[in-house]
Amino acid sequence: MDMDVNRYEVLGLPSGVEGAKLTEKEISKAYKLRALELHPDKDQAERCVFSWRPPDMERYKVNCDAALDMEGNMVGIRLVIRDSEGNVMARHIPDDTGFEIRSHGLRA
C-alpha cells in the first residue's frame, strides 16, 4: 500500500486544517461519489459494444441472459436460438413454460 497517497485529494476534498474540519458525512458522500465515478459498470453500454456474430452454416447459436432480484427473491432467464442467417429459431418467453418453436428442425 502506498502511504504517500493523499486520500483527501483522491476524494476531491481539502486536506490539512481544512480537511480536519470535514464531517464524517461529508467524507462519506465524497467517497460514494468517487466510487460511482470509478465503478467498472459505469457507462457499460457505452464502453462495451458487443455485436452478434452468426454461427457457422448449418449450426445454431444459443444466447442467454439472466437477472437476479435479491429483494424479490426472483430470477429471470431469457434465451434465444438463432441460425446462421440470424433467424430466430426458438426463444424462451419469460412467463411461458416452454419454447416457441419456429422451425421443424428444433425440439424443446
Is residue 78 in a domain?
yes
| HSE, side-chain direction, 13 A CA sphere, residue 70 | 0
Is residue 53 included in any domain, yes or no?
no
pLDDT of 37: 82
Residue 71 exposed, middle or buried by CB count within 10 Å (0-12, 13-18, 19+): exposed
| 66 and 96 co-located in one domain | yes
Please give the pLDDT value at position 26.
92
pLDDT at 108: 47
Residue 55 within a domain: no
Q: Do 11 and 42 fall within a single domain? A: yes
Domain total of the chain: 2
C-alpha cell at 35: 466510487
- Specify if 106 maps to a domain: no
Same domain, 96 and 66: yes
Q: Are strands 61-69 and 88-92 parallel, antiparallel or unpaired?
A: unpaired
pTM above 0.85, yes or no: no
Q: Does residue 91 belong to any structural domain of this protein?
A: yes
Give yes or no: residues 43 and 69 share one domain. no
> Checking phi first, is residue 14 left (phi over 0); if not, alpha (psi -120 to 50) or beta?
beta
| pLDDT value of residue 75 | 74
What's the chain's length in residues? Answer: 108
Residues 41 and 16 reside in one and the same domain: yes
**Grid cell in block for residue 1:** 500500500
Q: Is 67 a member of any domain?
A: yes
Q: What is the pLDDT of residue 53?
A: 83
Instruction: Look at residue 89 and tell me if it is in a domain.
Output: yes
Q: Per DSSP, what are the bridge partners of residue 61?
A: 82
- Residue range of the domain that includes 34: 7-47
Quote the pLDDT of residue 96. 47
pLDDT averages per 10-residue partition of the chain, 108 residues: 76 89 91 82 58 85 82 78 88 60 50
Is residue 29 in some structural domain? yes
